[in-house]
Amino acid sequence: MALSCQLGIASEALRHRACHASKATESINVTSSAFALPPTRADKADPAIIGDDDARLAEIDRALVATREDIERRLAEARRVGSDGQDAMDRDIAVYGLVSRQTVLRRFAIDLCLGKIVAADGEVLYIGRTGLVSPEGKRLLIDWRAPAAEPFFAATHQNPMGLVMRRRFRWKLGRVVDFWDEVFDEAALESDVALDDQSAFIRSLGTSRTSQMRDVLGTIQADQDAIIRAGSSDALVVDGGPGTGKTVVALHRAAFLLYADQRISERGGGGVLFVGPNDRYLSYVDDVLPSLGEDSVTIATLRRLTPEGEEAQPEADPRVASLKGSARFEDAIARIVRGYERVPTQEIIVPTSWADIEIEPEDWAEAFEAADDGTAHNDAQGIVWEELLDILTAKVDEMPPHLARRELENHAGLREIFEKVWPMLDPAGLVEALWTSPSLLERAAPWLSATERALLARGKASAWTTADLPLIDAARDLMGDPAATARRRQRDRALVAERERISSVVDYLSDTDEDGEGVSLMLGAADMQERLIDEGALPTLTVDRLAGPFAHVIVDEAQELTDAEWRMLIRRCPSKSFTIVGDRAQARHGFTETWEERLAEVGFTRASVSRLSINYRTPAEVMAEAEPAIRAAIPDANVPSSVRSSGIPVARGPVSSLESVLDAWLADNEDGTACVIGPAVPAERDRVTFMTAAESKGLEFDFVVLLEPASLGDGVEGAVDRYVAMTRATKQLVILEG
């Protein structure tokens, strides 16, 4: 995404977030305390317990006002600076950084503060979504990603990491409505505390869901935090069942790496690509990263990675999807491309104004060698053309070389011959030709049987499917984008013309400058002439941000990826620095290998696996129903253990009762979300979502109604769909049959 576009998006985000921040600030300014504890928490309102926190939160409030004003002033100054070239780029980067900082500080008020930790030596650190310093230079908040903040998330009673106490705040409308203390060394603790019978995380699990993922930064647990802060040099697999916090870990890891890993965060490093399974999922998590103080992560689905993905339909036949998912088709595409780069075996004669020029096979071979092996076919066309012109010009004795080259360069017949020998190729057109030309498919993919070739056959101009996208992407990588190549050539021609124009002007000024000093002397310098080029007048080059390369890729629901889809992602991160999030028991088409074995098949030579086995989301009542459903098909499924109970048993009933079931739940619950999962799609209702089991993967809802579970099918796919559907519920599950 262009920097100007990012600035526009950030500015728009500021307008939307300003309301929240202003309301939160107003609520603090009209009261003497940042705490709004309910009567049931009156015992926690003792000034001996919260007095120091109240004072610190007041300091944070004042510092936020001053910091926002300082950023506004610096932004205004930066935007007034007029410059071009590198100076303009540096200014735009500075403005972008200030806008990003402004977005976070406007998004939150004092609820930037997550809580505090108290060390054994008495040092108290307040942990924030971002760091904050007072105008006097006092450190008020430590960024949650900083090493000093790690004990806030990672300390346990077995390893307190030097802490004697940890306090986590729970915020609502800019006020602290509850907090939880954990004491690691009561004897060493000097301040008063308020102890509860449950930790912050377990208690917060009972809160209602919304259409977007909850902000759970303050409730990250030690096992999750260790994964978040792990190194990024190799592939790391986060394996865990439903409700173990895999997605939460992945999102926080993205924000952490951009903060802490210089290789990833440094300018030009490529940044982080986060890949989710579908658009609904992306909408669900889209608000999380900005709340963590990070808005520069690129978020996409696999289908968004290619232009053709926008209109692509799911592959209806699983047999076809399996065939197209093979990495062998990349070899087939490469074989076709190489067929367009074969040296002609016959001599070719080109008539010119001075004589006929003979192009020998050796001339073509020499020209072809000018392009490096790694250069995409379409991009190499210009390199080979220039080399061929050099070779042919060297053969001319009858006229000056520059005149001979100019004629050859504009020789329509030579150009026509060359473009037949080394044509411009269309990636999507080549993939379409595979499915529409039986003879081409047979030559390019000889391992296919006649039955398999018949399955792959399709009509011209048929809609693309999601299984086609990795193959089009592979073709584009091998060939280059012809449209981008054309734009680049257009710009190069315009740049040459602009340089010639400037050179002619400089020559004219030099001829009229009698003493050869002053302006004409200064303009004679090559670097000065380059500065005179009007970049804005040249054709613009669009950059496909999703093409990469990225410094790190995080992919969720990775257990579903085909070989071709894995290659599609690795092309965007050749270093293979990946965070791979998934659950083998949720693979709809089976996952019999270990993660290490599966990743070795697609090219990862080094990969470590971290497992999450505690289900923080799904009530024990629901898991008791879901576990047998998956173990019937996958006996060794990594089914996590639930740590909470809703007290609501799983209910059953007839499908005909759906409307009354929803009516009753909506009447009894003023907030929260419900989801109906099944083959039928009734009319949309407020706070009720309808989707298939496959679409629900990765999401969570307070109330889930599973329709006709038997209709989801037999075998592994049916068992996985039932398991996924059941485990979306955070409070209550109802199963309707018949």
Binding-site residue set for ATP = 240-247
Structure tokens that stand for 625 in this block: 């129903």
What angle do helix axes 620-631 and 715-726 make, rounded to 10 degrees? 180
Neighbours of 38 (CB within 10 A): 10
Binding-site entries: 240-247
| Rounded Cα–Cα distance for residues 360 and 369 (Å) | 15
Cα dist. 211→247, 581, 686 in Å? 15, 22, 11
Integer angstrom CA distances of residue 298 from 144, 282, 288, 327, 492: 21, 11, 13, 26, 30
**Tally of CB atoms within 10 A around 190:** 8
Tokens of 39: 């009567």
Burial class (CB in 10 A: 0-12, 13-18, 19+), 254: buried
How many Å apart are CA 575 and CA 224, to the nearest integer? 24
Amino acid, single-letter form, for residue 565? E
With the CA atoms of 518, 521, 524 and 529 taken in that order, what torsion angle do they form, in degrees rounded to the nearest 10? -20
Compute the CA torsion angle 380, 385, 391, 393 (nearest 10 deg). Answer: -150
Tokens of 186: 């009561």
Contact 485, 515 (CB under 8 A): no
Q: In what order do the strands lie in the sheet with 674-677?
A: 651-654, 729-737, 701-707, 674-677, 688-691
Asked if 423 contacts 341 with a C-beta cutoff of 8 angstroms, the reply is no
Q: What is the DSSP string of 250-289?
A: HHHHHHHHHHH-HHHHSTTS--EEEEESSHHHHHHHTTHH
* Interstrand relation of 163-172 and 139-143 (parallel, antiparallel or unpaired): unpaired
- What Cα–Cα distance (Å) separates residue 480 from each residue in 154, 379, 518, 547, 684? 46, 6, 47, 11, 44
Q: Residue 293 carries which DSSP code?
A: T
For 668-687, give the DSSP string.
H-SS--EEEESS-----BTT
Question: CA 76 to CA 245: how far, in whole Å?
Answer: 42
- List phi, psi (to 5°) of 692: -85, 170
User: By 3-state DSSP, what share of the chain in percent is helix, strand and coil, each rounded to 5?
Assistant: 50, 15, 35
Q: How far apart are CA 507 and CA 213, in angstroms?
A: 65
User: Which strands make up the sheet holding 113-119, listed edge to edge?
Assistant: 132-133, 139-143, 124-128, 113-119, 163-172, 175-183
**Diameter of the chain measured on Cα atoms:** 102
Cα distance between the two ends of the chain: 50
Contact 247, 556 (CB under 8 A): yes
Listing DSSP states for 427-460 in one string gives HHHHHHHHHH-HHHHHHH-TTS-HHHHHHH---T
Three-state SS at 56: helix
- Evaluate whether 671 touches 685 at the Cβ level (below 8 Å): no
